[in-house]
Amino acid sequence: MYFGVKGGPVVAFQKWNGYQETKPLLALHLMGHIESYGDESVFFLNAGINPKGRGLRYNDYVSPITGRVVRGGYSRIIFKNAEIGTGIKRYYEWTEDIEFFYSFGLRLSYTYGSEFGNIRYINTNAIRKWNYGVSVGGGFRLKSNEFFRPLLHISFSPDLSQQVYVPQQELKTPAGDRFTMPEQGIKNTSMEVGVTLQFLRKVIYN
């Protein structure tokens, strides 16, 4: 059985209604790693911190509530997620010391915190705490040392559930005018790039 740690940058994506420009969120993931011992097909399990979110850029606009001009800016939206994922991985020999692999897995995450920047109309009641999704990826592993094997990996991880859902809202200004806030149904998508360090725990029976 291999034990280890994996980590590296995360590029997270979301689509929000009613904003002129959206940008990816750049963050870091750090997870514990377990993988079965084998030459080709193996099972793996990862658990740790894997944030999701989005950057939102908006222009100047007139607030329908106060009538004042709100200056444009940038908000960093972060969902602090603890995540566990399991799946299968398939290795293929490339050279004498290097092999490449692909993987497929299922993920379950729990949101333990969030930051919305200047976005005011979303509260914690709109956040789905438990989310699930899939992950597909691949990479390379150095196999010259049986007891220590570093991996370079990249994975694409879309959620199948909605992290946030806010129904369309009809609101009223102090002057009595009505306006509509658009519905927000937001799913996470992320790309993780990083390094995994594997250490073999080998039990020999006499």
User: 79 pLDDT band (50/70/90 cuts)?
Assistant: very high
Q: SS3 of 106, please?
A: strand
In a domain, residue 178? The reply is: no
In a domain, residue 108? The reply is: yes
In angstroms, how far is CA 42 from the centroid of its own chain? 23
Residues 6 or more apart whose CB falls under 8 angstroms from that of 109 comprise 50, 52, 81, 82, 83, 84, 130, 131, 132, 133, 159
Which residues constitute the domain of residue 85?
1-119
Residue 88 has pLDDT above 80, yes or no: yes
Q: Is the pLDDT higher at 53 or at 55?
A: 53
In a domain, residue 199? The reply is: no
pTM (two decimals): 0.80
Nearest to 38 by CA among 202, 205, 195, 193: 202
As for how many domains the chain has, the answer is 1
Q: SS3 of 94, please?
A: coil
In a domain, residue 52? The reply is: yes
CA end-to-end span of the chain: 19
Nearest to 82 by CA among 38, 56, 112, 122: 112
In a domain, residue 37? The reply is: yes
In a domain, residue 170? The reply is: no
In a domain, residue 21? The reply is: yes
